[in-house]
Amino acid sequence: MDISRLRAALLVLAVAALSACGGSQAPTSPAGMLAPTPEPTPVPTADVAGDWAGSVRDSVAGVGQLSVTARQNGANVHATWSIIFNNTSRVHTEGGALTGKVNGDALDATATPDSSHTCGFHLTATIDGNHITGDYTARSCNTIGNGRVDIRRGSPL
C-alpha cells in the first residue's frame, strides 16, 4: 500500500471515529449556521374589558354587590369599582380604582378606594371567559380583612 492510500484510509477512519462519538456541537440549519433558539410561546391574555357585576363576601362587611367597569390594553387592566354592602345595621357603599395585570387566565390587581377611610386590597383571581372568581386581602389598613369576589360579564349594577 502506498503512502497516499494509507493517508486516505487513516483520514476516513478518523472522520468515522469522530462521527461515532456524536460530538457536542449545537444543531445547525441547512446552511451550516447555528439554529436559532425558539422564542417561548406567549401565553394568551384573557379579555376582561367591559362591565362586570356579581357578589363579594367580605370578612368584615359581609355580603355585597360588586360592579366593575374595566379597560384593558394588552395585559394591563384599569377599572373602576363599586360595592354596596346591605347588612342589617346599615347600607354601606364603597368605590374606587383598580389597576392590575392579566397573565393567561390569572388576574393580579390592586384596588384603591376613593375614600381614605376605607382599606385598599390586593386581588388574585381566575378568569374563565365571562366569569371571574378570586380572593382578596386588605392592605394598608388597621383592620385585617379578606374576601371572595364572584362576578360575571354584563351590565353594572
pLDDT in tens, the chain (157 residues): 555 554 555 454 444 444 455 555 555 555 666 777 777 766 678 999 999 999 999 988 889 999 999 999 999 999 999 999 987 676 778 899 999 999 999 999 999 999 877 788 999 999 999 999 999 998 877 777 899 999 999 865 5
26: three-class secondary structure by DSSP: coil
Return the pLDDT at 156: 55
133 strand-pairing partners: 126, 150
What is the C-alpha separation between 157 and 155, in angstroms, rounded? 6
d(CA 76, CA 96): 17
Question: Which of the following CATH numbers is that of domain 50-153: 3.40.50.150, 3.90.1200.10, 2.40.128.120, 1.20.1260.10?
Answer: 2.40.128.120
Quote the pLDDT of residue 38.
79
pLDDT at 120: 87
Longest dimension (CA), the chain: 109
Domain map of the chain by residue range?
50-153
Q: Of the candidates 65, 25, 72, 53, which has an alpha carbon nearest to the alpha carbon of residue 154?
A: 53
Please give the pLDDT value at position 3: 55
Q: Torsion angle, CA of 71/133/149/55, rounded to 10 degrees?
A: 90
Cα separation, 25 vs 91, in Å, equals 71
Residue 89: strand pairing partners: none
